[in-house]
Chain A
């Protein structure tokens, strides 16, 4: 029941992208609330209760409040977006997301004039999230975007993969997807969205500001201090897969480069 995929294909659904398999997408995950191993989320995330679910939208909006997930869905147009997904750890996948544009959700709440940033928060439920017993990060997981990044048509809230509801390990019931940024920016299982005037604190940046900047745009020319970002390994190639060169803005340079005009991307990493 996704429908409407025949609508004018957004630039996002670029031709020639071969999606990874369901198994690859749903068994190799980073979701530290369920453990730091790549297979931990697939093993343990089933404990997360995603029904009912509501998202608090507050801060500089006209209609703040708790929005029921099903009510949000009924207002939104779900479409398919086949995006590259590039992890900061230098691996990548191609994922056929189903979702709606974040701009539509923000407009539903009514963004006020003073808002410049959007802050996001993941659910923090120690009883359902065994990984949060360890202080790997300062829970709850937090992320943020500049308002223009959030309103960009490539930025979506994903609710499905391969026309199926998004599995818990991938961020059920709804998560952010910002395809030109490293994967950790695409925060999962969102319970709160706050429009703010100031740049919000973000989890990995709080944990290690030298390694993880607020922007975290995919950039082959700016290395992570501990490894090169010039190339990546595509998941699914097996034991003898060769590395592929990483693309500027993860291949979405045409669509998003203008957002960062005049900015030194080595400083604003």
Chain B
């Protein structure tokens, strides 16, 4: 694990940004040129949304991987987070501009359709996180920064719910995303028995 971590340390963060950003224009190009099938609006919307969920899961995996596996990806966590937000924003933009199109319909949908209300809430929760993903904000906010960024847990659950709520019939894929997110959040829970036990051992 040590050698993997050393190799990872040599990868510049900008490479992650570049690699993560590439699918956005590529998918748009495919949509323009027929590469996403005969209904490119829905396809582009779904692909951006899926990438956002995948990046969200990758970001949530950083801490458990370090704690339980010893793999250190902390250096890239901000890039993963910023990319997550970028794909959520693109997903939302495609929905607003290319899909629904009518401003009156957009507002009605946000209020009336639970899966859109849930998705919109997740976006709004991610907004302050994206805005504070810089060194100045981390210094400025101190401990409050860590608290603020716990909003990502709620946003992740809402994001998975958003997907689950829009599926027709009983489908496996949205459930798999939800399960992955719940598992990654569960790994963060302090395990009460163990901590009690170690406390007792300490005081003995």
Contacts and interface: CB of A to CB of B under 8 A. Distances in A.
Contact of B38 (A28, A207, A226, A240): A28
Given A239-B41, A240-B98, 5 more contacts: A226-B113, A226-B115, A228-B105, A233-B39, A235-B38
A142 B173 CA distance: 24
A32 B172 CA distance: 13
Contact of B169 (A207, A226, A231, A236): A207
Given A226-B115, A239-B32, A240-B98, A27 B37 contact: yes
Given A228-B109, A240-B98, A23 B169 contact: no
A16 interface: no
Contacts of B166: 226
Interface stretch (A4-12, A47-55, A104-112, A131-139): A131-139
A71 interface: no
14 contacts: A23-B38, A27-B37, A28-B39, A36-B169, A36-B173, A91-B39, A91-B42, A136-B169, A228-B108, A235-B39, A238-B32, A239-B32, A239-B44, A241-B41
Given A226-B115, A228-B108, A239-B44, A38 B169 contact: no
Contacts of B102: 231, 243
Contact of A38 (B39, B41, B44, B171): B39
Please name the 5 residue pairs, one residue from A and one from B, whose CB atoms are nearest each other, closest first. Answer: A136-B169, A24-B38, A239-B40, A28-B38, A239-B31
A27 B169 CA distance: 21
A199 B32 CA distance: 46
B170 interface: yes
Interface residues of B, number: 27
Interface in B51-92: none
Contacts of B42: 38, 91, 233
Interface string B3-35: 000000000000000000000000000011000
Interface in A189-248: 207, 226-228, 230-231, 233, 235-236, 238-243
Interface string B129-152: 000000000000000000000000
Contacts of B172: 134
Interface of A: 23-24, 27-28, 32, 36, 38-39, 89, 91, 134-137, 207, 226-228, 230-231, 233, 235-236, 238-243
Given A228-B105, A239-B98, A242-B101, A28 B37 contact: yes
A190 to B, nearest CB: 20
B165 interface: yes
Contacts of A240: 98
Given A38-B39, A240-B98, A241-B41, A226 B171 contact: no
A27 B85 CA distance: 32
A243 B101 contact: yes
Point out which of B37, B39, B41, B114 has the most chain A C-beta atoms below 10 A from its C-beta: B39
A170 B35 CA distance: 21
B39 A136 contact: no
Contacts of B40: 238-239
Contacts of A135: 170
Nearest to B105: A228
Contacts of A136: 169-171
A167 to B, nearest CB: 15
A19 to B, nearest CB: 13
A177 to B, nearest CB: 20
Contacts of B113: 226-227
Contacts of B114: 226
Contacts of A239: 31-32, 40-41, 44, 98
Contacts of A39: 37
A135 B44 CA distance: 27
A226 B165 contact: yes
A96 to B, nearest CB: 16
